[in-house]
Amino acid sequence: MRMAIFGGSPWIKMRAFSFEVSPSTSNPFYRRTKVIQFQRSFSVSAFSVLEQKTQGPVRVRFAPSPTGNLHVGGARTALFNYLFARSKGGKFVLRIEDTDLERSTKESEEAVLRDLSWLGIGWDEGPGVGGEYGPYRQSERNSLYKDYADKLLQSGHVYRCFCSNEELEKMKEIAKLQQLPPVYTGKWANASDEEVQEELEKGTPYTHRFRVPKGSLKINDIIRGEVSWNLDTLGDFVIMRSNGQPVYNFCVTVDDATMAISHVIRAEEHLPNTLRQALIYKALGFDMPYFAHVSLILAPDRSKLSKRHGATSVGQFREMGYLPEAMVNYLALLGWGDGTEEEFFTMEKLVEKFTIERVNKSGAIFDSTKLRWMNGQHLRALPSKELTNLIGERWKTSGILTVSDGPFIDEAVQLLKDGIDLIVDADEALNNLLSYPLQSTLQSDEVKSMLEEDKLSEFSASLLAAYDSGEITAALEEGPAGWQKWVKGFGKSLKRKGKSLFMPLRLLLTGKLHGPDMGATIILLHKVGLAGIVDPKLGFVTLDERFKMLRQINWEALSKDQPLKETTASISN
């Protein structure tokens, strides 16, 4: 006896008594054992894969429904399929499952294709590319489904069911009262030809129902191992609706088989569908593909990741400024690893390292903080010119600067890049560099202790004297070496060094107590003031204006803890 447990499915803790038979004598990857015949049309097989490889070409598919945006879970599934195909020298097929006519839209399909392309996940066959197994939209394959449904009807694996919706609901109610699974009772399973013909002549609507045999079924999932089902809990299921539209599980099976898909890599929520699909494979005489069901992506609270947890679609992360390289790297690590501590992977490296056997069966936690960190790693790994172009264009687009390139931007990017994890972070980094929040900083407790200890009024007077003499401007014109030489001399003249020199200097010139390298910051402030490339609406305070403001501070009143507006009334003018 074997147990199979499916979260969120009707087959909770069901007992599956398995036996092994040959699904196809033509398939060399399945073990041949005894065949057990049932009275219901055909024998059911439990499939047992001996080798985790195929002799034929590897062909995998990603089959999204165009009913919304591409979720990160779907993107990871597409990525795993893509990496598997590339690592095996196989083909990656994109198929659009748009049989849900009410919810499927052209806009959603275009968004999915755009997001996959943005991630760098290109398809070998599919929309816009073509291929010998097309068409690649299910809505264009209806005649194919009709042909295979007719084949199953002729072979007896499928029968016409004329039950009305009211009859079906009544069956469910009776089953519920009897505490039985809500399965179809088989009313039309053994109807005579005369009974069927009578209903057809009356024009009674009917569905196509698949005859489910007795017994059990077993597959060997590449990720999850052996999975078993008890067929007694299934009941005959519909493959074609009364309006002539095919049902999902039927479409998927026919498509995967006729497109020669060798491996089906998909989310674990599709695992219950495998039972119906396996039965259809057998009835149509198709060889089974290998199945690999990857775990769900979970939120930090271990619930299924959803909109309530924040951004969940690829498009949202793109708009937030994430790099496709970072998204691919992070998604690959959600349930997979190469067995080392390495976390930084390019797409090329992933193709080289990826194996489906290393995909973990347990749920993967989506950590937005980790994703942001990883994006920063990839951002800073970009070639210097590419990074500068990206950030420079961002600063111009966001209205901070009036230009997108030049010496100031080159140096500012180098100074600020370590604090930028997303391109949008560049705005805050530059705004902080250009700001002069002297008024608020002077009111802080940390500065109040400096007033007497560091004798800020005396320090300010000496700084102003150096500015008036032209020393500071001359030093800034010489660049980093000139600035360092001046600071060293200035500190020597005041008999100050270390913190007692640099903290007051940073405070008075930047208006802040902390920040990036002070020398580089002051030189950049000097350059940007001369270049005049800061948008006037930003209210940038140049170094010259900062020295004017320092002259107006009433240090005596400030040391007596009087309100700042009384001591620096004209600083902002």
Residues with a known catalytic role: 307
Instruction: Tell me which residue of 246, 242, 258 sits closest to 204, measured CA to CA.
Output: 242
Q: Is 456:559 a contact under the CB 8 Å cutoff?
A: no
Going by their DSSP bridges, the two strands 237-240 and 263-267 should be labelled as unpaired
Q: How many C-beta neighbours within 10 Å does residue 369 have?
A: 9
The whole-angstrom separation of Cα 413 and Cα 552 is: 33
Supply φ then ψ for residue 216, to 5 degrees: -145, 170
Q: Is 1:17 a contact under the CB 8 Å cutoff?
A: yes
Extract the runs of DSSP E, i.e. beta strands, from 113-201.
158-161
Extract the runs of DSSP E, i.e. beta strands, from 76-128.
91-94
The whole-angstrom separation of Cα 426 and Cα 460 is: 32
Q: Which helix (H) or strand (E) holds 403?
A: none
Q: Is 62:95 a contact under the CB 8 Å cutoff?
A: yes
Half-sphere exposure of 544 (CA within 13 A, CB side): 6
Q: How many C-beta neighbours within 10 Å does residue 17 have?
A: 12
Cα dihedral 305, 308, 310, 316 sign: positive
- In our burial notation (b when 16+ CB lie closer than 10 A, e otherwise), range 544-568 reads eebbbbbeebebeebeeeeebeebb
Instruction: Tell me which residue of 309, 302, 379, 365 sits closest to 335, measured CA to CA.
Output: 365
CA distances from 329 to 74, 94, 326 (A): 15, 21, 5
- In our burial notation (b when 16+ CB lie closer than 10 A, e otherwise), range 150-159 reads eebeeeebbb
The whole-angstrom separation of Cα 566 and Cα 345 is: 57
Planar angle of CA 406, 410, 412, nearest 5 degrees:
115
Q: Is 294:223 a contact under the CB 8 Å cutoff?
A: yes
Extract the runs of DSSP E, i.e. beta strands, from 425-479.
none
Q: What separation, in Å, do the N-terminal and C-terminal C-alpha atoms of the chain show? A: 85
CA-atom Rg of the chain in angstroms: 35
Assigned token pair, 340: 């080392």
Instruction: Tell me which residue of 18, 50, 53, 16 sits closest to 32, measured CA to CA.
Output: 50
Assigned token pair, 349: 């490296």
Instruction: Tell me which residue of 2, 543, 389 sits closest to 220, measured CA to CA.
Output: 2
